[in-house]
Amino acid sequence: MNLELLLAHADDHRPVLESGLRADSLQHAPGPVLQNQTPTHLWDPGGDPNDLASQRWGVIAPEGAAGDRLLAILEPLRRWRAQQQGAPTRCYRVPPGLEGPQAVRWKNTVLRDESIPEQEWPRYLLVLGDLDQVSLELQQALGSDVFVGRLAFREEQQLAAYVDKVLRWERAPSPESQARSLFFTAHDGTAATQVGYHQLVLPSLQACRARQQKGDFHADIHEVGGPEDWSPQELLEQAAAARPGVLLSVSHGLGAPRQGWSSATEQQSLQGAMCLGPGEHLRAADVASRPFLPGGLWVYLACFGGGTPHHSPYFHWLRRLQESGARIGRPEAVLASLPRAGQPPFIAALPQAALANPNGPLALVAHVDLAWSYGFSDVDTTSSRGRPSRFLGLLRELVEGRRVGVGLSTLLRFASEANLELTMMEDRDATELAAGRSAARDSARRGHLWMMRQDVSGYVLLGDPAVRLPLTPAVARDATPSLPEVSALLGLPAPALAPASSPFPLGPGVQAMEEAVVEMMTGAEAPRAIATRLGVSLAELRHWERVFRDAGRAALASLSRSGG
């Protein structure tokens, strides 16, 4: 199976690489530039990663007047996050061009300032500004063990619209308790989208349906169209539904026309738009005002779907392939979509418009470089295997209501694992050479690992990493019986619900305790704020939660044993 590229020319919508690249092309991949992608710190590893009180939330903004304006617009959201976590939000200011080793050094010295207690280091970080204001490399360096997202808009009022949208959904969630999960493929007849469908979308559909039957996937599942009967209009109709959901889409992203972009403005307006076959594409104007995934989340697989970097690591690889005799045409044709000299990198217009839309999604996961099929498949010289599990973990986290930054971390960990194996291979070869022995380099394996690391790490989060689907948990909506009533109904002794050996005195009444636990579990209020209001310690409140959960598990186990 060939290595396919999800990139099409903007003029005729034909793939830039008509037939993909041979699997053995990976033997010519560059030597690994080892990145700091293996987590070295975990913020409160014993705490819930979705709990802002444990993990904290902060902001990174560019230095100067532009950053000041962005922070002023974001202020309502900062106050809301501070209230949720029961502590002030930290703000970091960075200069442009903070890249490479400097980005890693900033992370290890400024973000992890040893003069600040570790529990106050924010693990959720929202980056403000475009790629020329706060570098892509800094965002990627943080992504190994920080939940990081970015907001970048052409106009400042778009940021204000996004802030209003997040606050509106979090203060008044949907009455729905179960999400939708939508799967869409642009069946344009190209090899790349066919591979995407058969190795990612179709296996994901099958796996989700199987898990749903086992009660392990709590979302309605819907494929938008099929190989023979799909249409862009059906995508727009399904995405307009008011019920929050997660959309996984696979398509080509628009790249440079064959004669090149006429201007930087045209490039920034169209590059990364969703190619929907000859003559049709989904552009920013199509999702700017009409309902499109209101309150939802979008996983968008396409070249440059999230944005365009200043330079691409693939250029040297493609050049090396050409020099080795591979028939790929001109590498410049593949990479003609990169900014010209003097032009800045940028976040794509399509996700910007969707995020600024009051009836649009709360966050997107999209690619900021060339998106290959390697993100969801393994290709080597002897076999090829689909790897839908890399994205299934992300989808499951999102539909279950986890924060989107936590969901993306389930995908990015594969890049960290590949980076770790590359590091071990380099160390092994260095050891052999130091001992006077020749190192048996496995060029093909290195190429596979390099490709997988680069492709997966190209996916970034656009939006606040702390958002999640605004669903109303059933436990918070239904008339929930009190703890004594639950005990009586299930025939459990009272100590199973409130152990007599509890180290904490029972100050508030049982109903107040129950309400506090439900509020904490549903994220209605920050745990620290709840504890303060009730006049108890945070440790005591968390003890109530453990007791509540243990009782629920005991009740379910009892029902299971009785066949009920």
HEC states along 353-421? HHHHCCCCCCEEEEECCCCEHHHHEEECCCCEEECCHHHHHHHHHHHCCCCHHHHHHHHHHHHHHHHHH
Query: Has residue 25 been placed in a domain?
Result: no
**Ramachandran category for residue 86: left, alpha or beta (phi over 0 → left; psi -120 to 50 → alpha):** left
Beta carbons of 411 and 143 less than 8 angstroms apart: no
The Cα 160–Cα 148 span in angstroms is 20
| Mean pLDDT in residue range 450-477 | 81
Q: What is the pLDDT of residues 249-260, one digit of tens each?
A: 999 999 999 888
Q: What is the pTM of this model?
A: 0.78
Query: Has residue 26 been placed in a domain?
Result: no
- What confidence tier does 277 reach under pLDDT thresholds 50, 70, 90? confident
Statement to judge: residues 212 and 79 lie in one domain: no
Better pLDDT: 218 or 273: 273
The Cα 94–Cα 99 span in angstroms is 11
Q: What is the pLDDT of residue 29?
A: 53
| Mean pLDDT in residue range 363-392 | 76
Query: Has residue 118 been placed in a domain?
Result: yes
Statement to judge: residues 230 and 125 lie in one domain: no
Answer with the one of 151, 168, 193 that is the final residue of a domain. Answer: 151
Query: Has residue 503 been placed in a domain?
Result: no
- What confidence tier does 472 reach under pLDDT thresholds 50, 70, 90? confident
| Lowest-confidence segment of 106-115, 189-198, 418-427 by average pLDDT | 418-427
Query: Has residue 494 been placed in a domain?
Result: no
| Mean pLDDT in residue range 239-258 | 94
Q: What is the pLDDT of residue 468?
A: 96
Mean pLDDT of the chain: 82
Query: Has residue 458 been placed in a domain?
Result: yes
Query: What's the maximum distance between 2 C-alpha atoms anywhere in the chain?
Result: 78
The distance in angstroms from the start CA to the end CA of the chain is 49
Question: Which tokens hold the place of 491?
Answer: 């025939």
* Host domain of residue 215: 178-434+441-462
| pLDDT over 70, % of the chain | 78
Statement to judge: residues 255 and 186 lie in one domain: yes
Q: What is the pLDDT of residues 113-141, one digit of tens each?
A: 888 888 889 999 999 999 999 999 999 88
Statement to judge: residues 143 and 263 lie in one domain: no
| Mean pLDDT in residue range 190-218 | 91
Query: Has residue 242 been placed in a domain?
Result: yes
- What confidence tier does 292 reach under pLDDT thresholds 50, 70, 90? very high
Statement to judge: residues 281 and 364 lie in one domain: yes
- A 10 A CB-CB count for 71 gives 16
Better pLDDT: 203 or 341: 203
Statement to judge: residues 457 and 523 lie in one domain: no
The Cα 524–Cα 431 span in angstroms is 54
Statement to judge: residues 274 and 357 lie in one domain: yes
| Mean pLDDT in residue range 512-528 | 78
| Mean pLDDT in residue range 338-357 | 94
Residue 56: partners with Cβ closer than 8 Å, 6 or more residues away:
43, 85, 87, 89, 90, 119, 120, 121, 122, 123, 124
Q: Which of helix, strand or coil describes residue 250? A: strand
Tell me which range, 173-177, 346-350, 483-487, is most confidently predicted by mean pLDDT: 346-350
Handedness of CA 410, 415, 419, 422 (dihedral sign): positive
Statement to judge: residues 182 and 262 lie in one domain: yes
Query: Has residue 100 been placed in a domain?
Result: yes
**Is a pLDDT exceeding 80 seen at residue 453?**
no
**Residue of 394, 282, 279 whose CA lies nearest to 349:** 282
**Is a pLDDT exceeding 50 seen at residue 186?**
yes
- What confidence tier does 42 reach under pLDDT thresholds 50, 70, 90? very low
Question: Which tokens hold the place of 377?
Answer: 């498949």
- What confidence tier does 530 reach under pLDDT thresholds 50, 70, 90? confident
**Is a pLDDT exceeding 80 seen at residue 541?**
no
- What confidence tier does 240 reach under pLDDT thresholds 50, 70, 90? very high
Better pLDDT: 41 or 121: 121
Q: What is the pLDDT of residue 271?
A: 95
Better pLDDT: 416 or 87: 87
Statement to judge: residues 447 and 529 lie in one domain: no
Better pLDDT: 163 or 396: 163
- Say how many domains are in the chain: 3
| Mean pLDDT in residue range 275-298 | 94
**Is a pLDDT exceeding 80 seen at residue 151?**
yes
Beta carbons of 280 and 232 less than 8 angstroms apart: yes
Q: What is the pLDDT of residue 496?
A: 40
Statement to judge: residues 105 and 250 lie in one domain: no
Q: What is the pLDDT of residues 398-427, one digit of tens each?
A: 999 999 999 998 888 777 677 677 777 777
Q: What is the pLDDT of residue 536?
A: 73
Statement to judge: residues 120 and 215 lie in one domain: no
Write the CATH number for 110.
3.40.50.2300
Q: What is the pLDDT of residue 443?
A: 66
**Is a pLDDT exceeding 60 seen at residue 26?**
no
Q: If you count DSSP H runs as helices and E runs as strands, how many of each does the chain have, helices first?
A: 21, 18
Q: What is the pLDDT of residue 322?
A: 61
Statement to judge: residues 231 and 376 lie in one domain: yes
**Is a pLDDT exceeding 50 seen at residue 37?**
no
Q: Which of helix, strand or coil describes residue 403? A: coil
Strands 179-185 and 245-250: parallel
